[in-house]
């Protein structure tokens, strides 16, 4: 039986984590490779890196990070942030990532999804989708609008329609982030998670809002997500990954335990 | 040395990194002599069957692999490699290598998951394998160990060749083969400690076999 996945998300700028990560012994890690290695050892099922570097020089540093991560962990990891061409995708995949995630660039040019899937296979292409609750309207029947550039720019696209289109274009997975829930620690946005999970056949990763183990359970059961993205809840050593998994297992969900 | 067959199919370097981490000597190569001189082959792969077969046939690697495995050289197929070791694939309706009898098929529509909801395709993530026959390849593994899968098609080898089963809406064959010619639908190089154990077991088997034939 396929396990529900827990995926820590690490933000990297100029080759370093944007926020240090505290592990049990209060060691503060700023090195993304060391942090990835720790999460690998603690039972993370996959790791997501977001590169929020702006400069071209920073990009080179980031590719070096990807290569060092690939030599240090033996689980899949994906890379997102500013990827806007097949050449960018090839760079990070050759450096050792399994998947690339495209977000704003795919909204601007949806053919990027198809080109990526044709070049590397659908399994390598994740659609990052930031959804904002706006209420149902004629142009946004689902009530959730796609927003880009970190949630600042509305696109006029319906989130459900965009998810279905991305699946048709060849995306192998959707990482669905709720802009409303992101950073609140009040729980995942279950309505949009369930709506999109129910309507696509590819896996959906729920993102944004995790504050306690019950929130993960809700997203993976009621929300019907295949995986849950976690950040603060694990980075500040509130809940080790092992504890989150033991909780989900005790509630009857299939998870990978050590 | 293990030879990782190079046919531009994506994940050769992931396999190499895992072997490097284990201290197992390996080379990524399409050179017939290097393949011949290795103690065992690894046949990885990500992508589509039709395109992969095009590269294998035009480069002569198809013939090399048939000859070498026919002469008893061990081989471990991974993911797409595992699928195209059979005779035919529903993906691109491709004729494949035919190293072992059987064909690769798509997950049927309308299968349900444990919660009664439709299964998702690709089958992407961690799952268990019920090994149904003994093999040196899964020594030191626990029944609860999980492996990383990502695929939309799965191997359906001739009766008697299945070695391991996995459930995704139905049981499917996730490991098959015979002694010295094994095929894994999952990625051992991305399956954490249990996956690395399988790669170590394979290397040990190849070394023992090479020592015996010397």
Domains (range + CATH), chain B: 2-212 (3.40.50.880)
Residue A194 falls inside a structural domain: yes
- Note whether A2 contacts B113, CB cutoff 8 Å: yes
- The reply to whether B206 belongs to the active site is no
**Chain centroid offset of residue B212 CA:** 24
- Size of chain A, expressed as the number of residues it contains: 258
Residue A24 falls inside a structural domain: yes
Q: Answer for the pair B195, B147: CB distance below 8 angstroms, yes or no.
A: yes
A226 touches chain B (CB under 8 A): yes
B52 touches chain A (CB under 8 A): no
Residue A255 falls inside a structural domain: no
Which stretch, A90-94, A156-160, B43-47, has highest mean pLDDT? Answer: A156-160
Q: Which residues on chain A are in Cβ contact (under 8 Å) with B118?
A: 201
Distance CA A225, CA A217 (A): 10
Q: Which residue has tokens 């999970």? A: A197
Q: For residue range A44-81, what is the model confidence (pLDDT) as tens digits?
A: 999 999 998 767 777 788 999 999 999 999 999 999 98
Quote the mean pLDDT of chain B.
Answer: 94
- The reply to whether A243 belongs to the active site is no
Distance CA B65, CA B99 (A): 8
Instruction: Compute φ and ψ for A114, nearest 5 degrees.
Output: -65, -45
The domain tally of chain A equals 1
B16 touches chain A (CB under 8 A): no
Residue A196 falls inside a structural domain: yes
The CATH number of residue A87's host domain is: 3.20.20.70
B125 touches chain A (CB under 8 A): yes
pTM of the predicted protein model: 0.95
Distance CA B110, CA B178 (A): 32
Enclosing domain of residue A81: 5-250
- Note whether A254 contacts B114, CB cutoff 8 Å: yes
Q: Indicate which residue of A45, A91, A130, A158 is catalytic.
A: A130
Residue A258 falls inside a structural domain: no
> Which pLDDT does position B10 carry in this prediction?
64
Q: Which residues on chain A are in Cβ contact (under 8 Å) with B48?
A: 121
Quote the mean pLDDT of chain A.
Answer: 93
Predicted confidence band of residue A87 (pLDDT cuts 50, 70, 90): very high
- Note whether B146 contacts A256, CB cutoff 8 Å: yes
- Note whether B125 contacts A203, CB cutoff 8 Å: yes
Helices (H) and strands (E) in chain A, counts: 10, 13
């Amino acid at each position: 039986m396929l396990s529900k996945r827990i995926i820590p998300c690490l933000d990297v700028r100029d080759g370093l984590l944007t926020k240090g990560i505290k592990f049990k012994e209060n060691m503060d890690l700023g090195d993304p490779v060391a942090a990835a290695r720790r999460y690998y050892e603690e039972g993370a099922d996959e790791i997501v890196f977001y590169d929020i570097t702006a400069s071209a020089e920073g990009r080179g540093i980031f590719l070096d990070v990807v290569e060092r991560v690939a030599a240090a962990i033996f689980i899949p990891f994906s890379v997102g942030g500013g990827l806007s061409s097949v050449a960018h995708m090839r760079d990070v995949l050759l450096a050792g990532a399994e998947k690339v995630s495209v977000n704003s660039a795919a909204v601007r040019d949806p053919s990027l999804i198809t080109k990526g899937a044709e070049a590397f296979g659908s399994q390598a292409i994740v659609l990052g989708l930031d959804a904002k609750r706006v209420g149902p309207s004629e142009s946004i029947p689902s009530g959730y609008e796609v927003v880009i550039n970190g949630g600042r720019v509305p696109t006029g696209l319906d989130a459900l329609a965009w998810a279905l289109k991305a699946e048709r274009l060849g995306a192998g997975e959707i990482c669905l982030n709720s802009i409303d829930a992101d950073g609140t620690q009040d729980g995942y946005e279950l309505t949009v998670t369930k709506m999109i999970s129910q309507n696509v056949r590819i896996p959906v990763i729920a993102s944004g809002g995790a504050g306690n183990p019950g929130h993960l359970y809700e997203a993976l059961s009621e929300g019907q997500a295949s995986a849950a993205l976690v950040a603060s809840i694990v980075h500040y050593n509130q809940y080790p990954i092992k504890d989150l998994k033991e909780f989900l297992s005790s509630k009857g969900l299939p998870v990978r335990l050590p | 040395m293990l030879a990782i067959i190079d046919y531009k199919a994506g994940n050769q370097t992931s396999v190499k990194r895992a072997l490097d981490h284990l201290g197992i000597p390996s080379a990524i190569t399409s050179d017939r002599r290097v393949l011949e001189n290795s103690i065992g082959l690894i046949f990885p792969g990500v992508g589509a069957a039709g395109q992969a077969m095009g590269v294998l046939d035009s480069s002569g690697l198809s013939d090399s692999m048939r000859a070498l495995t026919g002469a008893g050289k061990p081989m471990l197929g991974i993911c797409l490699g595992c699928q195209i070791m059979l005779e035919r694939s529903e993906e691109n309706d491709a004729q494949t290598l035919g190293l072992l009898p059987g064909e690769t098929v798509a997950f049927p529509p309308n299968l349900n998951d444990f919660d009664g909801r439709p299964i998702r395709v690709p089958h992407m993530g961690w799952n268990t394998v019920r090994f149904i026959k003994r093999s040196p390849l899964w020594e030191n593994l626990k029944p609860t160990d999980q492996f990383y899968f990502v695929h939309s098609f799965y191997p359906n080898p001739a009766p008697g060749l299945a070695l391991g089963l996995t459930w995704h809406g139905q049981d499917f064959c996730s490991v098959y083969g015979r002694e010295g010619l094994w095929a894994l639908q999952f990625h051992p190089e991305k399956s954490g400690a249990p996956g690395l154990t399988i790669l170590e077991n394979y290397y040990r088997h190849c070394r023992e076999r090479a020592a015996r034939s010397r």
